[in-house]
Structure 1
C-alpha cells in the first residue's frame, strides 16, 4: 500500500484516505521561508543551474479560499477548533498569517480523522508560526495529547542584528490518545565522558569494555543463600539462582576479586560484568543537535531548498511506528518521509500539489530502491489522461503549466521557464548531453500544430546556438511538419552516429518509450540529481539491490 498523490492534500484526504487508517503523520507545511520551493537542476557543466524552476510559492493571503477554509472549520463540529480559530481571527485580522492558519486548521481536522487511535502526528515548523500551530493542535487533538516540543538544530549559528541566532526548527509531537499510542523508546549513545568514567575495564578478550555491578539481592531470599566457589553468601543472599550463577560463570561474566598471589579474595564479593556494547544509552531528549542539516556537498541532497535529512525522519518513524505501519506525509515535497518509510519497511502515502515534486519523488525512489513498488495517482498514465490534463489547461493556466512539466518529465528533460513570470522565448525545456551540448524542447498540447512551429523551433535553436531541437506534441504531426524537420539536417557529435537536428516526438511515444523516444548521442544521466541507492537491509550480508 504505497501511494503517491498529485493534488491538493485536502481533496486527497477527503476522497482517498479512509478514517483511522494511518499510523503516523509527518508534515512540514511551508510558510514564510523567504524562498520559492524549487527543484534545482544541473546545468550543462554539471553544476546547479542558475535558473531555479518554480514549483510553488509559500505565499499565503486572505482570499476567497481562506474564507472558505475558515467557514469549513466553523461548520466542522469540532467546537474547540472553531472557537480557537475564531479567536485567532479576532486577534490577527484577515492577513497572511490568518490565511495560513485557516488553511492548516481545516487540514489538521482531516489528518486527525485519518489517524488511528494508536497513531501520532509530528508537525515540523519554524518559530514564525509554531506558537499558533500549537494552539490549533491543542484544539484538534486535545491539550492532554501533546507529548513534546522537539527542537532540531538545523544550522549553525550566524550573525543576526540584535537577536539570538535563529538556528533551530520546532517539531510538535501529538498523539491521538493520551496513553495508548505506538512508542519505541529512542535512546542515544553514551557520552565519551560517561564511558571513560564508568567503563574503564577491558579484559582484551574481544568483548569490549565493561563495568562491575552488584550481584547481591536487595531483599532477603532464602533460596539464594548458598556458598559460591568459596565465597560466603551475602546477608540477603545472591541476586541469581545457582543455575543462573553457573551460566554466568561459564560465560566469563563474573569478576572475582583476587589477592596479590592470584587467589580468590573471599573477604570481598564477586561482581557482574556489564559490557558497554550490551547497555542501552539514555532516553533521548527533545533537543536534537546530532543530526546535521544537508549541506551543499551532502550525497542525499537533491537541491530542494527545504529538504530534510533522511536521518531526521528515520528517528521519528522508528520511535512512533513499526514495520508494516502506514506513514503519511501530506506535504511530501522532495519525498524524504516516503524515502525513510521505504527504507524502514513501512507502508507510505505521499501527497504534493505540484507535478514537479511528484516527478522528483518518483525518480528518487526508483534510484534509491530499484525494486520499489508504488502507485501514482492524479497524473496521466495513458494518452487519454494526457488529453484530459491538456483540456483542463485550456481554461486553467496552472493545469497547462503542470501538463508541460509532466510532458517534460517523460523524456527526462529539465523544465525551462515554468514560472511564466516572463516570456519563455520558445524554450519549454532542456536536455543536456555529451559534455556541453544542449537540446531545446518545445511542448505543444493543442490540436492546431503545423509546419510553422517546426520552423520556429529551428529558429530558436539557431538563436540559442543549441545543437538539437525536440518538438514534443500531444497531437500527431502532419506530413509537412515531418518533412520540415528532416530538412533541418543532422547533428554530428564526435565518436557517435549522427542524429536528426529537429526531432518530433509524440506524447504517446514518450509515454511508452520515455527518454528512449529521443535520439541523443552520449546522453547524460545527471539532468536531475540522483538519489544514492539504498542497501537491502533484509538481504543476507546487506547486499545492494
Structure 2
C-alpha cells in the first residue's frame, strides 16, 4: 500500500477509509489540557478556564458534535461499543457534567473504539497524555481493550527537565503514555530497544568467555549459568534518557507539542517490524510519520488542520527529498474547484479558516507563515520573507478571499502593506477578479531586486483555479530556503572536514 496522509476529522477518516485489522501499531498524542488543575477539571468553570486553556477549549467544547457523540455511545452505534464502555460514559456524565472535560472523554472514546477496530490482533496502541486526565483515560482504555480480550501492558512515565519551573508546587515534568494490546498475541521486540548495561555498580566479578564476551556467574537451583552483559537491559517504565525538545534543538520545527524522534523510535521499534503499518490519528507535525519512514514502515497519518498537513509534507520533503511524495496518497485535500468551494463555504468558522491555510500554504509550497491570531487578522492571512540584499528580509503579505471580491479589496491590501512595512502583496481569491481589481493591482507597479531574474508585480492576484488547475505557485526564493541551503552547505563542509581529519 501507498503511505497515506488524510486531511480531515480522524473519526470520519477512520470510519470511512480504514479497514478492520489493518494496523500493526497506533500511537496518538491528542490535544490535552496541560494547564488545568484538578479544581478546574471538577468545577468545569467558565471564563477563567477558557482563558487558561484556549487551545484545549477550542478543540473540546460541549456542542452539537459532543451531543451526537454521546448519543452514538449510548445507542451503541453500529454495535461498536462494548457494554462496559457504554456503562462508563453513562456513569461519568452526572459526575463531570456536560463541560469541556466530558466532551474530551466522549470525543476520545469515539476515536479509540475505531482504533481498536482497525488494529490487528497482534497490534499495539500507545496513548500519550498528561496527568491532568490520565486517570479518566485509563478507565476508557480498560473498558474498550480489556473487555474485548485485550490487555493493559504499561503505564510509561516520560520524564524531562525542559521548560519553566514553578516555586508554588513540585515542577510538573512528566507525561503519561499508556500502552495497550488488542490480544495476548502482541508483538514486542525487546532486543530492538535494549539499553547498554551499567556495569560500574556490579559487585559480582565480571568474567570473559572464550570469545571475549563479558558475563557474570548466575547460580539457579544449584546450577551455574552465564549471565551475558552485552545483551543490555530493557528501559524501565519511567523514561529519563529521552529529553523533551528544547527551543534550540536541531529537529525542532516550532510546533508547540512536537515530540522528539527518539521517543517515537523506541515505541515503533518495540511494537512493529519493517513493512508494518503505523497509524497516527493526530499526526500534528509528523514526528511519528518521519520516524516510521526512517524505519521502513508503512504509515497512515491524519490531522484536522491543513497547517499540520503542510508541515508534514514539507518535513518529509526536507528529510527524504521530493521523490518521497511520489509514494504518498494525499486524501481530503482540495483537488478541484468544487472541493475547494466546499472547504471555503463551511459554516463552522474554524473549519472555514482551513481554506485560508490551504490556499496560503499550497500557493507558497508550504513556505509561508500562517497568521493564527485569534479574532481579526488585520488583513493578513499569511506572511513570507525574501532576501533583497538589505539589512533585513523583505516582507510579503498574503490575503485570502472566498467571497465576492472588488477593487476596494486591492486598495485595502495596499493599505495593509504600507502599515506593515511590507514590499509585496499577494491576493488569493476563490472567485475570478474583476477588471477593476486587475487594473488597480497593475497600477501598484513592479518590483525587482538583484536576486530576482525577472521583475514581479507589487500586487499579484492569483485565483484558486490557477492554483489547482495550472499548479501556479509563488516563484520567489524565500529566506527560509536560503537558510536551509546554508545549513546544508555547512553540514557538507563539516562532513568534509571530518573526512579529511580521518584521512
Is the pair's TM-score, using the shorter chain for normalization, greater than 0.5?
A: yes
Q: Match of 1:453?
A: 409
Tell me how far 1:510 sits from its aligned partner.
Answer: 3.0
2:458 to 501, 506, 510: 501
Q: Which moved more, 1:85-94 or 1:110-119?
A: 85-94
Q: Match of 2:299?
A: 348
Residues 383, 528 of structure 1: alpha-carbon distance in 2 compared, 3 angstrom cutoff: farther
- Cα distance in 2 between the residues matched to 1:404 and 1:304: 19
Residues 55, 136 of structure 1: alpha-carbon distance in 2 compared, 3 angstrom cutoff: closer
- Cα distance in 2 between the residues matched to 1:416 and 1:149: 37
Tell me how far 1:90 sits from its aligned partner.
Answer: 3.1
- Cα distance in 2 between the residues matched to 1:159 and 1:401: 35
Asked if structure 1 preserves the Cα contact closer than 8 Å seen for 2:116 and 2:145, the reply is: yes
SS at match of 1:142: helix
Residues 215, 388 of structure 1: alpha-carbon distance in 2 compared, 3 angstrom cutoff: closer
Tell me how far 1:317 sits from its aligned partner.
Answer: 0.7
The C-alpha deviation readout for 1:362-420, integer Å capped at 9, x for no partner, is 11111112132211111112334323323x34x4433431111000002325355445x
SS at match of 1:31: coil
Q: Match of 1:523?
A: 478
Tell me how far 1:519 sits from its aligned partner.
Answer: 4.7
Asked if structure 2 preserves the Cα contact closer than 8 Å seen for 1:27 and 1:330, the reply is: yes
- Cα distance in 2 between the residues matched to 1:528 and 1:139: 50
Q: Match of 1:191?
A: 198
Q: Match of 1:247?
A: none
- Cα distance in 2 between the residues matched to 1:380 and 1:401: 14
Asked if structure 2 preserves the Cα contact closer than 8 Å seen for 1:7 and 1:354, the reply is: yes
- Cα distance in 1 between the residues matched to 2:207 and 2:58: 54
- Cα distance in 2 between the residues matched to 1:181 and 1:350: 22
Asked if structure 1 preserves the Cα contact closer than 8 Å seen for 2:394 and 2:423, the reply is: yes
Residues 527, 306 of structure 1: alpha-carbon distance in 2 compared, 3 angstrom cutoff: farther
Q: Match of 1:425?
A: 378
The C-alpha deviation readout for 1:23-59, integer Å capped at 9, x for no partner, is 1111112121349xxxxxxxxxxxxxxxxxx988555
Q: Match of 1:296?
A: 247
1:403 to 336, 347, 355: 355
- Cα distance in 2 between the residues matched to 1:527 and 1:508: 29
The C-alpha deviation readout for 1:183-231, integer Å capped at 9, x for no partner, is 111311111515898658799xxx9x75367799x999xxxxxxxxxxx
Q: Match of 2:436?
A: 480
Residues 212, 438 of structure 1: alpha-carbon distance in 2 compared, 3 angstrom cutoff: closer
- Cα distance in 2 between the residues matched to 1:289 and 1:317: 18
SS at match of 1:131: helix
Q: Is 2:77 the partner of 1:72? A: no
Instruction: Kindly tell me the number of residue pairs found equivalent between the two proteins.
Output: 451
- Cα distance in 1 between the residues matched to 2:382 and 2:287: 26
Q: Is 2:171 the partner of 1:165? A: yes
Tell me how far 1:361 sits from its aligned partner.
Answer: 0.9
Q: Is 2:132 the partner of 1:176? A: no
Q: Match of 1:224?
A: none
- Cα distance in 1 between the residues matched to 2:467 and 2:164: 48
Q: Is 2:287 the partner of 1:329? A: no
Asked if structure 2 preserves the Cα contact closer than 8 Å seen for 1:33 and 1:58, the reply is: no
Unaligned runs of 5+ in 2: 37-53, 489-503
Q: Is 2:137 the partner of 1:133? A: yes
- Cα distance in 2 between the residues matched to 1:112 and 1:417: 37
Q: After the TM superposition, which segments of 4 or more aligned residues of structure 1 sit over 4 Å from their partners?
A: 54-59, 156-159, 194-203, 212-216, 494-497, 526-530
- Cα distance in 2 between the residues matched to 1:529 and 1:88: 50
The C-alpha deviation readout for 1:336-377, integer Å capped at 9, x for no partner, is 111111111111111111111111111111111213221111
Alignment of 1:527-542 (within 5 A): none
Q: Match of 1:11?
A: 12
Q: Match of 2:48?
A: none
Tell me how far 1:489 sits from its aligned partner.
Answer: 1.4
SS at match of 2:200: helix
- Cα distance in 1 between the residues matched to 2:279 and 2:63: 28
- Which has the greater radius of gyration? 1
SS at match of 2:479: coil
Structure showing greater relative contact order (alpha-carbon pairs closer than 8 Å, 6 or more residues apart): 1
Q: Match of 1:147?
A: 153
- Cα distance in 2 between the residues matched to 1:484 and 1:79: 65
- Cα distance in 1 between the residues matched to 2:34 and 2:111: 20
SS at match of 2:178: strand
Q: Match of 1:46?
A: none
Tell me how far 1:436 sits from its aligned partner.
Answer: 1.8
Unaligned runs of 5+ in 1: 36-53, 221-235, 240-271, 534-545
Residues 519, 23 of structure 1: alpha-carbon distance in 2 compared, 3 angstrom cutoff: closer
SS at match of 1:70: helix
Asked if structure 2 preserves the Cα contact closer than 8 Å seen for 1:431 and 1:527, the reply is: no
